Chains A and B, each alone.
Chain A
Amino acid sequence: MTAYLTETPPAAARPKAAVKRRARRKTRQWLVGYAFIAPAVVLFLVMGLYTLGYSVTLSFAKWNGFSPSWDWVGLKNYHDLLYADPRLAPEVQRAALNTGVAMVAVSAGTVLIALPLAVLLNSIRRLRGLLRSVYFLPYVTTGIAVYYAWRYVLEPDGAINLALRSIGLGSLARPQGFLGDPDTALPALIVVMIWGSVPVAMLLYLAGLQAIDPSLMEAAAMDGAGTVRRVRHITWPLLVPITVAIVLLSLRDTMQGFQIFLIMTNGGPAGHTEVLGLKAYQQAFMQSMSPTLGVASALGWLIFVAALLLAVLNARLLRGTR
Chain B
Amino acid sequence: MRAGTRPSAGMVVAYLALAVYAAISLYPFAWMVSGAFKNRLEILEGGNLIPRSPTLDTLVDTWGRLNFFDYFLNSLKVTGLTVLGVLVVYSLASYAFAMIEFPGRRAIFWFFVALLFVPSITVLLPLTILESRLGILGTHIGLVLPFVNGTAPLTVLLLTNAFRAIPRELHDAARADGAGEVRIFLRVYLPLVRPTLITVAVLTAVPTWNEYPLSRVSLNEESRYTLPLALEQLASGNVPSYNEIMAGSLILVVPVIVLFLALQRYFVNGLSGAVKE
Contacts of B246 on A, CB cut-off 8 Å? Answer: 148-149, 152
Contacts of B253 on A, CB cut-off 8 Å? Answer: 141, 145-146
Which of B96, B129, B206 touches A54 (beta carbons < 8 Å)? B129
Which listed segment binds B: A87-95, A102-110, A155-163, A167-175?
A155-163
Given known contacts A143-B210, A146-B28, A153-B31, A296 and B125 CB-to-CB distance under 8 angstroms: yes
* Contact yes or no, B28 A297, CB < 8 A: no
* Contact yes or no, A152 B25, CB < 8 A: no
* Contact yes or no, B22 A153, CB < 8 A: no
Query: Taking CB as reference atom, which chain A residue is nearest B46?
Result: A157
* Contact yes or no, A120 B257, CB < 8 A: no
Given known contacts A44-B112, A124-B18, A144 and B264 CB-to-CB distance under 8 angstroms: no
* Contact yes or no, A37 B92, CB < 8 A: yes
* Contact yes or no, A37 B130, CB < 8 A: no
* Contact yes or no, A207 B97, CB < 8 A: no
Query: Nearest chain B CB to A237's CB is how many angstroms away?
Result: 17
The A contact surface, by secondary structure, is helix
Contacts of A113 on B, CB cut-off 8 Å? Answer: 21
In the assembled complex, A164 has its CB within 8 A of some CB on chain B: no
Residues of B68-106 whose CB lies within 8 A of A: 88-90, 92-93, 95-97, 100-103, 105
Contacts of A69 on B, CB cut-off 8 Å? Answer: none
In the assembled complex, A203 has its CB within 8 A of some CB on chain B: yes
Query: Taking CB as reference atom, which chain A residue is nearest B129?
Result: A54
Chain A, interface residues (CB within 8 Å), range: 35 or more
Which of B18, B112, B242, B256 touches A117 (beta carbons < 8 Å)? B18
In the assembled complex, B60 has its CB within 8 A of some CB on chain A: no
Contacts of B235 on A, CB cut-off 8 Å? Answer: 148
A159–B11 alpha-carbon span in the complex (Å): 31
Query: Nearest chain A CB to B72's CB is how many angstroms away?
Result: 13
The B contact surface, by secondary structure, is helix
What string of 1s and 0s marks CB contacts (under 8 Å) between B5-44 and chain A? 0000001001101100110111111011001000000001
Query: Nearest chain A CB to B60's CB is how many angstroms away?
Result: 19
Which of A34, A41, A54, A262 touches B130 (beta carbons < 8 Å)? A54
Residues of A27-63 whose CB lies within 8 A of B: 29-30, 32-34, 36-37, 39-41, 43-44, 46-48, 50-52, 54-55, 58
Which listed segment binds B: A15-23, A182-190, A279-287?
A279-287
Which of A34, A47, A159 touches B149 (beta carbons < 8 Å)? A47
Residues of chain A whose beta carbon lies under 8 Å from any beta carbon of chain B: 29-30, 32-34, 36-37, 39-41, 43-44, 46-48, 50-52, 54-55, 58, 65, 113, 116-117, 120-121, 123-124, 127, 131, 133-138, 140-146, 148-150, 152-153, 155, 157-159, 162, 195, 200, 203-204, 207, 245, 249, 255-256, 258-259, 262-263, 277, 280-281, 284-285, 293, 296-297, 300-301, 303-304, 307-308, 311
25 A–B pairs (Cβ distance < 8 Å), ordered by A:
A32-B180, A39-B89, A44-B152, A48-B152, A54-B129, A131-B22, A136-B267, A137-B25, A141-B210, A143-B211, A144-B210, A144-B249, A145-B248, A146-B28, A149-B29, A153-B28, A195-B25, A200-B271, A245-B275, A249-B275, A259-B212, A284-B124, A300-B121, A304-B119, A307-B119
